[in-house]
Amino acid sequence: MKRYLSILVAYLFFIFNINAQVSRQTTFRLAFSDSSNKVFFVEHAKVNGFIIEYEKDTPISIALNYRKGVLSNVGKAYDEFYDLGFEGDRYSLAKRYKRLAIPPLPALYIEYMAGITERTDIKTYCEARAIVSSDSVVYEFSQYYYPDSLDVYIFNDKDNTAKFNGNIVEFEKVLESSYNKHQQNLVDSILIFQGIVNYDGHLTSIELISGQNSTFSNFVKQRLTDLEGTWIPAIQGGRPVRSLVDICIQLNGNKGIVMSTCGWNRRKRY
């Protein structure tokens, strides 16, 4: 469906930090009339809208909001969150919302970013997101850039989440060996578990949150429990904290098994 540009707002401003160092921020918005998700919003009337975050031109997350109001002011007050880099979330999203359409970034923004990345005299940090409602999509772009002489650290919630720190290939081989013994009891090609990573890197409170219980799923759960100290805890305020982590066990067509994990914006599901 043809989309029409309805709003274009661009503005520049400077931000001065407490050390009198200067960083510059460029922000602009593009709003389009868009009804490509009209069927989705009819089928899921409780959803008020959703926000997609991008890294360069790739969508990396979706946050769904049930509350009425201005979506751009929702911030972290979302009702559902999906990390699009995590197989478990991609599977859950596709299973629950079959008609959800992810809009691509406008060519204008992609061309703009291509020009910026060619510069070598500045450090850049960019944010891009799309705010999608039943009849429109609003793109918001923010770019922060600093003189190359400044030592700038951009805090990223995703980089400070709990992570698996063991030998994932060896663990996958153990699961593959067990699968050959229990495959007759396996119904689902994807199993998703959730647990808590403690301060010391131990995984506890593991539960199956997607997929049917079977001899194989029980084996996976026990093996995850036996992995002592193979997790890096999440960091908050410079200190390790207890946090949730999701673990996806995916069975491929060649009977190989792939394990992936995610600790980004997890919520308890059991």
| Residue 4: per-residue pLDDT | 41
Q: Which residues pair with 214 in a beta bridge?
A: none
- DSSP H or E run through 129: strand 122-132
Look at the chain and count its residues: 270
83-139 pLDDT, tens digit each: 999 999 999 999 999 999 999 988 877 777 666 656 656 667 778 899 999 999 999
Condensed to tens digits (0 to 9), the pLDDT of residues 8-66 reads 333 333 333 323 344 556 788 889 999 999 999 999 999 999 999 998 889 999 999 98
CA-CA distance, 166 to 25, in Å (whole number)? 40
pLDDT at 240: 93
For residue 1, pLDDT over 80 is answered with no
Question: What are the distances in angstroms from CA 50 to CA 77, 96, 169, 239, 247?
Answer: 11, 14, 35, 32, 24
Tokens representing 214 are: 């079977």
Instruction: Indicate left, alpha or beta for 201 from its phi (over 0: left) and psi (-120 to 50: alpha).
Output: left
Give the alpha-carbon dihedral of 183, 206, 161, 232, to 10 degrees: -90
Task: Classify 174 as helix, strand or coil.
Answer: helix
**C-alpha dihedral sign at 225, 229, 231, 237:** positive
pLDDT digits (tens, 9 = 90+) for 219-265: 999 999 998 788 999 998 889 999 999 999 998 866 689 999 999 99
| DSSP-H helix ranges across 97-150 | 107-116
Dist CA 78 CA 7 (whole Å): 25
Three-class SS of residue 201? Answer: coil
User: Tokens in use for 96?
Assistant: 């629950």
The Cα–Cα gap between 185 and 145 comes to 55
Report pLDDT for 252.
80
pLDDT value of residue 67: 74
Please give the pLDDT value at position 15: 33
Name the band, by pLDDT with cuts 50, 70 and 90, for residue 78. Answer: confident
* Amino acid 47: pLDDT: 93
